[in-house]
Amino acid sequence: MPVKQPISPGRRRFRQPLWPYLFALPMVLWLLAVFGYPMVKVVQYSFQVVGGKTVRWVGLANYRFILRDPIFWKSLSNNAFLLLAVPILLALSLLFAILLFERIRGWRFYRAVVFLPYVLAPTAVGLAFGYMYQYNGVLNTLLRHLGVAGADWLGKASLVMPSVMSVIIWQQLGFGVVLFLARLMSVPAELYEAARIDGANWWQEHRHITIPQLRLAIEFFAVVEVITMLSWVFNYVYVMTAGGPGFASHVLEYYIYKNAFAFRAMGVASAVAVMLLAVTMVLVVFYFRLRNASQAAEE
Amino acid sequence: MSLKARGRALFIQLLMGLMSILSLYPLYFILVTSLKSQREYVYNLWAPPVHPTLANFVEVFLGSKMPKWFVNSLIITVVTVGVSTIVAAMGAYAIARGRFWGHRAVFNTMVGLLVVPPVILVVPMFILMVRVGLINTFSGVIFFYAGLLIPFSVYLLVNFFRTLPEEVFDAALIDGCSPLVMLWRIVMPLAAPALITLIVVNAVWVWNELFIALVFLQKEELRTLMAGLALFQGRYSTNQPLIMAGSLVGLLPALLLYLFGQRYFIRGLTAGSFR
């Protein structure tokens, strides 16, 4: 809608102003350089062997290589395993958010405390947990006092991924709690009052009111956490296990890191990145559907 | 209160107490360990130090490259956040108020990019930076980081700018404000709460980032604090108290920001979500 323009009526009314283009230009160029260019290039590199100055097309060789590489499959299955953390996080954050929502004594304090791990540097956190999980570390000492045998939490192939997962859950939980709590506070109180008059118990109340009301927030959190488990766990693995013991705690990011920067196999790393990109695209679709649903709900 | 209700309240408090202990314990561990000598750590894992010492901090500040890395991280964080905030504010203003041709498509692309993880971009960016000679420079890393922050920043600011009343803009237009003056003098001050949130969240992100820092700044004297800390560990892996002292220094800035500006964090990190 054109704004009434008393100063220079002839000049501005009919022509599209230029300034929005100028304002948007740096942003658009920057995004093209940092997202657009690499997303195109990574596909190209995945079909090439990239050397210092030379590139050679090798067709699907990089893809064939990773599909035959047991370490790739190990990494993939570890990321898949980490996805199990998502339902755990959903359940725990819902539970804590609901309990805090009841305005129990000290809820503000608890909210601040549960969110705190989320802001701490994953590198520092990973180092600390690495020590706490050491064979002679705090955790095993505690277990010994309780009369339970300890274990080599990060040194044993079968335990290393659950241990890494525990740290990720520890750090991500607060995000879910705060998100759900914020959303709960905007649920109309009458809904709960009506349910109570109808004689609904705690379980029914949350089953039939809280969860449907929070559906979009829950789905949003689930999508964000799925992305986290697939592509934001490098920090933990790098400082806690360096992918070990053996290859037991390799994840896709670590596999990309090793191939690209330790073995200089940029093509192989790119092929993995392309696969991750494909998965991300699927998630983007989900994300957009959620967003549209949330906008529809607002209107 | 009935007996049952009291029992329930007690149970919830116990549960919350347990959760608090689990949430806070690692921080306590880092703190008390950093104040122990290496010898004391071996026999006293749990309790606060019997003979507290600042030797680890002295070593961190005087005997290592940590101060240098700290300054590096500080420079990178401040410049990245500054640049990306300005670029994002101009872009967001154009999207929210300029309604230029294609602004919807740009905004939707932005939302899609929120989901794209940096690992996918790292290899081509690395090769590009090597070719243009920006590897092992702060400029290269800042360029990459700032770009990565733009989608979230624009998303948050567009949503905020859209909540500003139309009259503010009309009044300024009638006064003959140029778009740049309007953004700087009128919109930015009104958006101060959103901007503070954005700056805090982005700064913590840059400060904590590891993968890119590790790969793009490989010279010892160019390391960021997080990369330095991660590599530190390999060298002093048996000196746990020293590493914990370094870690404490590394997480302290974000922790202090959190303690004094909790609401900005909570607002910023829930702002990306949908209702």
Across A101-115, A247-261, A280-294, B227-241, which has the greatest mean pLDDT?
A247-261
Length of chain A: 299
Q: Which residues of B touch A227 (CB under 8 A)?
A: 115, 117
What would the two tokens of residue A5 be? 């323009």
- When pLDDT is averaged across residues B230-253 and rounded to a whole number, the result is 87
Helix (H) or strand (E) holding B85: helix B66-93
Query: The domain containing residue A156 runs over which residues?
Result: 65-298
Torsion of CA B17, B20, B24, B25, to 10 degrees: 40
pLDDT over 80 at A295, yes or no: no
For the cut 60, the answer to whether the pLDDT of residue A140 exceeds it is yes
Residue A19 falls within a domain, yes or no?
A: no
Q: CA A240, A244, A245 angle in degrees (round to 5)?
A: 120
Task: Name the residue facing B124 among A45, A221, A239 (closest C-beta).
Answer: A45
B 130-169: CB under 8 A from A: 143-144, 146-148, 150-151, 154
pLDDT digits (tens, 9 = 90+) for B14-30: 999 999 999 999 999 99
Q: Which of B115, B144, B149 to mutate to test the interface with A (most CBs of A within 10 A)?
A: B115
User: Who among A38, A96, A232 is closest to B121 (CB)?
Assistant: A38
SS3 category, A18:
coil
* Length, in residues, of chain B: 275
For residue A213, tell me if it sits in a domain: yes
CA distance A290 to A55: 41
Mean pLDDT of A119-131: 94
pLDDT at A33: 96
Report the pLDDT value the prediction gives residue B271, as an integer from 0 to 100. 67
**Closest Cβ–Cβ partner in A117, A119, A227 for B117:** A227
Residue A78 inside a domain? The answer is yes
Paired tokens of B92: 């967001």
Tens of pLDDT, residues A167-217: 999 999 999 999 999 889 888 888 888 888 888 888 888 888 899 989 888
Domain assignment of residue A171, yes or no = yes
CA–CA dist B262, B110 (Å, integer): 27
B83 lies within 8 A of chain A by CB? no
What is the spatial distance between Cα B33 and Cα A132, in angstroms, rounded to a whole number?
11
Is the per-residue pLDDT at A3 higher than 60? no
User: Would you tell me how many other CB atoms lie within 10 Å of the CB of residue B18?
Assistant: 10
Q: Can you give the pLDDT at residue A125?
A: 95
Q: How many CB atoms lie within 10 A of CB B193?
A: 12
Residue B75: per-residue pLDDT:
97
Give the Cα separation of B267 and B271 in Å (integer): 6
Would you say residue A165 lies in a domain?
yes
**Is the predicted pLDDT of residue A250 greater than 70, yes or no?**
yes
What pLDDT sits at residue B274? 52
Residue A46 Cα to chain centre, angstroms? 25
The pLDDT, as a whole number, for residue B1 is 64
For residue A170, give the 3-state DSSP assignment.
helix
Decide if pLDDT at A16 tops 80: no
Going by pLDDT thresholds of 50, 70 and 90, the confidence category of residue A269 is: very high
The secondary structure of B169-229 as a DSSP string is: HHHHHHTT--HHHIIIIIIHHHTHHHHHHHHHHHHHHHHH--HHHHHH--SGGG--HHHHH
- B90 vs A273: CB contact, 8 Å cut-off? no
pLDDT at B272: 60
Share above pLDDT 70 across residues of chain B, in percent, rounded to a whole number: 96
pLDDT at B187 over 80: yes
B12: nearest CB among A17, A31, A104: A104
Q: Is residue A176 part of a domain?
A: yes
User: For all residues of chain B together, what is the average pLDDT?
Assistant: 89
Non-local CB neighbours of A227 within 8 Å, separated by 6+ positions: A280, A283, B115, B117
Tell me the pLDDT band of A10, cut-offs 50, 70 and 90.
Answer: very low
> Is residue A1 domain-resident?
no
- List domains and CATH numbers for chain B: 58-271 (1.10.3720.10)
Q: Average pLDDT in the B184-205 region?
A: 88
| C-alpha to C-alpha distance for A186 and A81, rounded to whole angstroms | 34
**Inter-helix orientation angle A19-31/B103-113, to 10°:** 30
Collect contacts of B63-69 with beta carbons under 8 A, ≥24 apart: B64/B232, B64/B246, B65/B220, B65/B221, B65/B223, B65/B228, B66/B225, B66/B228, B66/B232, B66/B246, B66/B249, B68/B221, B68/B223, B69/B223, B69/B224, B69/B225, B69/B227, B69/B228, B69/B229
pLDDT score of A1: 45
Query: In the structure, what pLDDT confidence band is assigned to residue A131 with cuts at 50, 70 and 90?
Result: very high
Tally of domains in chain A? 1
Q: Is A117 in Cβ contact with B26 (below 8 Å)?
A: yes
CATH of the domain at A274: 1.10.3720.10
Band of pLDDT at residue A118, cut at 50, 70 and 90: very high
Is the pLDDT assigned to residue A12 strictly greater than 80?
A: no
Mean per-residue pLDDT for B41-60? 89
- The DSSP code for A105 is T
Question: Is A210 contained in some domain?
Answer: yes
B1 or A279, greater pLDDT: A279
Residues of chain B neighbouring A27 (CB-CB closer than 8 A): 87-88, 90-91, 94, 150, 154
Chain B: nearest CA to A158, how far in angstroms? 23
pLDDT, tens digit, for every residue of B100-140? 888 899 999 988 898 899 999 999 999 999 999 999 999 99
